[in-house]
Structure 1
């Protein structure tokens, strides 16, 4: 025996229900007070509205066992797969490349020039401040991976002159995993 729907006539009111024994806040009998279903929905649960098309869903990625072995930018190696934003690729037979697009400049800082001028007035030792140098690295290191006909590229910011050596160490480890 089913209960008649008290809200079938379209008069839905917010706030506590005034009927005796009603669960409160305008929800019909048989639903929890906060509107959640009795059982937790499974992975296929997709709330839908009538007349609104459901967007296509990507198939769920297979569960990857273990912790990430390597991560370069948005490329991550987990188990026997390479995970990228475009989707997983097989690790076996992957080709890894890196290109250094960074540069390191060496220049005299402005403070050294000011100190050299100030101390030049007092003694000639102020010229030693012009020997001060600072190195500044700018740019990126591009890492690309190709596997099973798919290609992904990421840019890693160069933070120092040794950034490319660090990336190449990580890349050589990825190459050893791909064999």
Structure 2
């Protein structure tokens, strides 16, 4: 079953959403248009990384207590930053949603993709 441009898709409530991708029981809704959920393929890629930097407070204390304060420059903060990419392919439709890290939505993205994969498998059997 394919959707032609301009064809209306039945109104169904979203059962899941990730970024700008919405999922109903039978359809994947993206800014590029709808596509059938049955047979859709989902990927999630973690593009995050740990980074270390000298915190601002350590730089200020190093200046205030110079020269002994230079020891404060040995302090490091470790932060996790980056993004997640969630890609869906259904027929001719391919769309990627980018989720910044850290965010509430990104934390739950792996579980949501697993749930959507199960819905897609269930829709394919129906």
Match of residue 50 from structure 2: 104
Q: Which has the higher strand share?
A: 2
Report matched runs for 1:2-81 at 5 Å.
58-64=6-12, 66=13, 68-81=14-27
Match of residue 146 from structure 1: 89
Aligned length: 117
- The alignment status of 1:174 with 2:116, answered yes or no, reads yes
Alpha-carbon distance, 1:117 to partner: 4.3
Calculate the TM-score normalised by the size of structure 1.
Answer: 0.53
SS in structure 1 of the partner of residue 108 of structure 2: helix
Flag the structure with more relative contact order, 1 or 2, with Cα contacts below 8 A and sequence separation at least 6: 2
User: What is the aligned counterpart of 1:95 among 35, 41, 50?
Assistant: 41
CA RMSD of aligned residues (A): 2.9
Q: Which has the higher helix share?
A: 2
Alpha-carbon distance, 1:167 to partner: 1.9
Q: 4+ residue stretches of structure 1 with deviation over 4 A?
A: 162-165
Rounded to whole Å, the distance in 2 between the matches of 1:108 and 1:147 is 45
Match of residue 6 from structure 1: none
Alpha-carbon distance, 1:75 to partner: 0.7
Alpha-carbon distance, 1:129 to partner: 7.1
Rounded to whole Å, the distance in 2 between the matches of 1:175 and 1:88 is 17
Rounded to whole Å, the distance in 1 between the matches of 2:20 and 2:69 is 51
SS in structure 1 of the partner of residue 10 of structure 2: coil
Match of residue 135 from structure 1: 79
Calculate the TM-score normalised by the size of structure 2.
Answer: 0.71
Rounded to whole Å, the distance in 2 between the matches of 1:125 and 1:84 is 54
- Alpha-carbon contact 2:100-2:106 (below 8 Å) kept: no
What runs of 5+ residues in structure 1 fail to find an aligned partner? Answer: 1-56
What runs of 5+ residues in structure 2 fail to find an aligned partner? Answer: 122-126
Alpha-carbon distance, 1:115 to partner: 0.9
User: What is the aligned counterpart of 1:114 among 60, 69, 75?
Assistant: 60
